[in-house]
Structure 1
Amino acid sequence: MRLRIIAGRANTGKSTYIYDEIIRTAGKTKDNLILLVPELMTYQAESDIIQRYDLPGIMNIEILSFKRLENKVLEEVGGNKLSEMSVFGKIMLLKQIFEENKEKLKVFGSSYRQSGFLKEFEELISELKQNLIDGSSLIKAASNVEDELLKNKIYDIELVYSEFHRRTEGKYFDEEDKTNLFISFIKESSYINNSRIWIDGFESFNHQRLSVIKALCDFSKSVTLSLNIDSSYLENPEDKDDFEAFKIIHDTYLTIEKLDLHMEVISLEQNLSLAPEIKAIEKNMFSLNAEEYERDTDNITIYSSLNPYTETQRTAAKIISLVRDKDYRWRDIKVALGSLDTYETNIKRVFAQYEIPYFLDVKRDILNNPLSKYLLSILDMFIWKFKHDHVFEYL
């Protein structure tokens, strides 16, 4: 029931501290070493560890998301043999519940017919489950509300939510039900019992995820969690000028404190940024009483442009200059955008014109991938006995 917290602001080396500790531990033990990171960071974290320490591979080190860890434990203890309900199944069940109870509903009696309403309600149910809110909690909340419309909405939500729970309990499982099952099975998992766990890259956790962390602390050999906040902010945050920037993380810390765990805080204070200007920005960006930076700024340049297109052109010219004149490599350069929708078309056009290789970090529909279309069209031809449309789609 012990939790170590690595606390430090940006660029103080929290991830490096964790990676170093994992590598040191890997040489001394045969325990499972697990690094938990957000879903989209698993590949990057694995790549960073291999490249940073020049490793040919990693054997007893696993970089996982919470969902992947959940699946591994359920596979081990047999919890994956469940009748799982998809999002579409939940929406169909919700439609049936709304139709059967429309006379009882005070506000949402006909709303379910609106486009997108059932999808939004399905997401609401998922959020209620993730934060461990049941029907009785909703009734209690409604009794404390004076606004009649809001009170009736909460009563409607409780009616549908409770009916949804009654019809699915013990029969069908969604993602949130699987997580609850995972929490109950952690104590039976020899994989977890023989593991040392590090958690990195998160700012906040819902109540269900906090229950997972507590169970991991109870039944694994050790758990270490990094938080992007100065350790001095954990005790007297209101005294700091830029406290609002760290409020979410501080609230996370306060919630973890309530888990009845013995916590040890390891403080990292030195900013490892090489450029003094970057250090000054990190320190003062959100401060109400920012310190004036009086030295010359060699590492920060501010440009103004007429529109996003000319801004993209200037950026492309700067990238070409760095690669041609200062021996940078393409992979050394990143472009951070405030809005990808605004710049995506310009980047594709301008970077192609300047012959700059690039990767856009956007989600792509796998069904629009040429290889996927090719394989599906072959299958369609055989399934539908070479119908005209499918043959031409293949060609």
Structure 2
Amino acid sequence: MALELLFGRASSDHELALLERVQATLAADDQAEIFYVVPNHIKFETEIQVLNRLATLQDRHGAAVAVPNVQVFSLSRLAWYYMQNDPIYRQANLSATGMTMLVQSLLREHQTELELYGNLLTKQGFISQFASQILELKQAGLSWQEVRDMADALTQQGTLQMKLHDLALIGEALDQELATRNQYLSSQLLAALRVYLATEKTDVSHHYYFINGYSQMTTPERGVVEALIERAGGVTIALPADDGSASVTAESLSENDLFYRPKRLAQQLRQFATDHQVAVTASSVTMQRPVSETITTVESFWIAYEQEGVKPNGQTPTPKDLAIWQATTRYQEIEQMARMIRQEVASGKRRYRDFMLMTRDLGQYENMLPAVFARYQIPVFMDLDRPMAAHPLVAFLDKLFRLAPAYTIADVMGLLKTELLIPEDVTVAEYREALAETENYVLAKNTPGWRWTDKQPWQFDRNVADSDDEVLREHVAEKDAQLALIHDQISTVVAPFLADLAQAPMRARWQDASTCF
């Protein structure tokens, strides 16, 4: 057991420093299992890069490389790796929706005890907001007694005091209910992993963890790392910090330090290791990443600014390829970027792939940025976490297996709007137009479920058949064809498939379903 702390500026090559230690560990321990741990949002690209760089260090070359006994995980994926077959993991199955429903029940049960929110239980959106605030407090690692103590100290802020009282009241009730059910919240998976590691159900004495990409950790994340420090073969974590951070003590650490959070995390991990008689070493990363002079100049400026303050005019170097803009609104900011990118690409100097836009909170640009970039015909990918339930395939399967026997309008339309059933000879535009026309038709007629499975053709307006107006008849015939396109998908494709599936044994059902898709 050992903990190694690596410190270096962001321009330092933390990854190479860790991979050199990975290589040394594999050479020293023939039973070693290596886990390279990074935040979830950079796991995919890190996995490719880490394996390629490690293969290069080991002098392995080729179009495809494989590095045995090395895996790149996020902490949540690490929880799955260890606990996938353990009851603890299966108990951590209460989703955010399930938590909201449980909080709603507890609010009603304790309504008379609420000091602030007793009259808001029927307000639209209140329950989900209240549940999310409870979740934030739990993820911050605060106990409900600590929340109560905070409330008691706010004698001059009555509203906030009552709010914290209500949150603590329902939070304690929620914990008690989950304990009774022997459940965890899905968001508490890391806490479950720490409990699992403490049970010694798995031997991690030859497991080595190399952690990169973190400047701070939540309490549950730090708890997992502490459990690994105590039981694993070794833990090495690289943290962004300025020169000399390896020798910083708790007494010399200042909250005004630019790198206060990573240094504070290092102090917490160092103290935990010391308390549990685990050897600790600290060193600096001297190797540099291949970044431009502009990036290193900006990095040095902010470090110097935090340490020395603003320098007199003319003493701060300004790189030629650095431009600073000021925008009054986010929309104007996006507009300026889109115009500049479009001009650079049109001139032939750049490609779209040459540009990366970074912001502290991408969620604030989620709606505006795609619309503005689409107007400038700029392809863009936004690296936002999206719930799997919103994926078209998941929505398709969910609606498909809920269709029969009711065939409600909402479920049918939800299934078809995933656009995963478009016939090969129909364009997307034609399909969307037919689907919109059909939706208007079934809503106007209040079409019952059995009509979807009935193979008798639908008629847009049966009274037009005897009309002398040829233009009107052609118009109605087009509408009939659109209705037939959508209706036939359900009556001749989906309904027979679900009927056959219902008649098959359970194992054959899933085989048939997988063959179908």
Q: TM-score range with shorter-chain normalisation?
A: 0.7 to 0.9
Q: Residue 198 of structure 1: CA displacement?
A: 0.8
Structure 1 partner of 2:486: 392
Structure 1 partner of 2:43: 42
Q: In the alignment, does 2:237 pair up with 1:225? A: yes
Q: In the alignment, does 2:248 pair up with 1:248? A: no
Q: In the alignment, does 2:137 pair up with 1:136? A: no
Aligned length: 386
Please give the per-residue CA displacement for 1:111-148, whole angstroms capped at 9, x wherever unaligned.
Answer: 33333332233223333333443333333333333233
Structure 1 unaligned blocks of 5 or more: none
Please give the per-residue CA displacement for 1:214-256, whole angstroms capped at 9, x wherever unaligned.
Answer: 1101111000111111252462799999954323223323333
Q: Contact conserved, 1:193 with 1:219, CA < 8 A, in 2?
A: yes
Q: Contact conserved, 2:75 with 2:190, CA < 8 A, in 1?
A: no
For 1:235, the aligned partner's letter is V
Structure 2 partner of 1:194: 206
Q: Residue 42 of structure 1: CA displacement?
A: 1.2
> Does the C-alpha gap of structure 1 residues 390 and 115 become closer, same or farther in structure 2, counting only changes over 3 Å?
farther
Pick one of 276, 284, 295 that aligns with 1:278: 295
Q: Residue 212 of structure 1: CA displacement?
A: 1.2
> Does the C-alpha gap of structure 1 residues 376 and 161 become closer, same or farther in structure 2, counting only changes over 3 Å?
closer
Pick one of 329, 350, 357 that aligns with 1:336: 357
Q: How does 1:1-395 map to 2 (within 5 A)?
A: 2-26=2-26, 29-52=30-53, 53=56, 54=61, 56-75=65-84, 77-82=86-91, 84-147=93-156, 148-171=158-181, 172-187=183-198, 188-190=200-202, 192-233=204-245, 235=248, 244-261=257-274, 262-269=279-286, 271-285=288-302, 287=305, 288-290=309-311, 292=314, 297-300=319-322, 308-309=334-335, 311-319=337-345, 331=353, 333-338=354-359, 340-341=365-366, 342-352=368-378, 359-363=381-385, 384=407, 386-387=452-453, 392=486
> Does the C-alpha gap of structure 1 residues 72 and 390 become closer, same or farther in structure 2, counting only changes over 3 Å?
farther
Q: Contact conserved, 2:76 with 2:189, CA < 8 A, in 1?
A: no
- Tell me how far apart the structure 2 counterparts of residues 122 and 19 of structure 1 sit (CA, whole Å): 42
Q: Residue 318 of structure 1: CA displacement?
A: 2.4
> Does the C-alpha gap of structure 1 residues 124 and 302 become closer, same or farther in structure 2, counting only changes over 3 Å?
closer
Structure 2 unaligned blocks of 5 or more: 408-449, 459-482, 491-517
Q: Contact conserved, 1:230 with 1:269, CA < 8 A, in 2?
A: no
Higher relative contact order (Cα pairs below 8 Å, separated by 6+ residues): 1
> Does the C-alpha gap of structure 1 residues 215 and 365 become closer, same or farther in structure 2, counting only changes over 3 Å?
closer
Identity among equivalent pairs (%) = 16
Taking structure 2 as the reference length, what is the TM-score of the superposition? 0.64
- Tell me how far apart the structure 2 counterparts of residues 173 and 294 of structure 1 sit (CA, whole Å): 53
Q: Residue 189 of structure 1: CA displacement?
A: 4.0
Q: Residue 66 of structure 1: CA displacement?
A: 0.8
> Does the C-alpha gap of structure 1 residues 358 and 122 become closer, same or farther in structure 2, counting only changes over 3 Å?
closer
Q: Residue 376 of structure 1: CA displacement?
A: 6.7
For 2:94, the aligned partner's letter is M
- Tell me how far apart the structure 2 counterparts of residues 153 and 302 of structure 1 sit (CA, whole Å): 42
- Tell me how far apart the structure 2 counterparts of residues 206 and 124 of structure 1 sit (CA, whole Å): 16
- Tell me how far apart the structure 2 counterparts of residues 304 and 131 of structure 1 sit (CA, whole Å): 34
Please say which structure displays the higher CA radius of gyration. 2
Q: Residue 76 of structure 1: CA displacement?
A: 5.1
Please give the per-residue CA displacement for 1:266-306, whole angstroms capped at 9, x wherever unaligned.
Answer: 11246545533332211003512458578784544568998
For 2:152, the aligned partner's letter is S
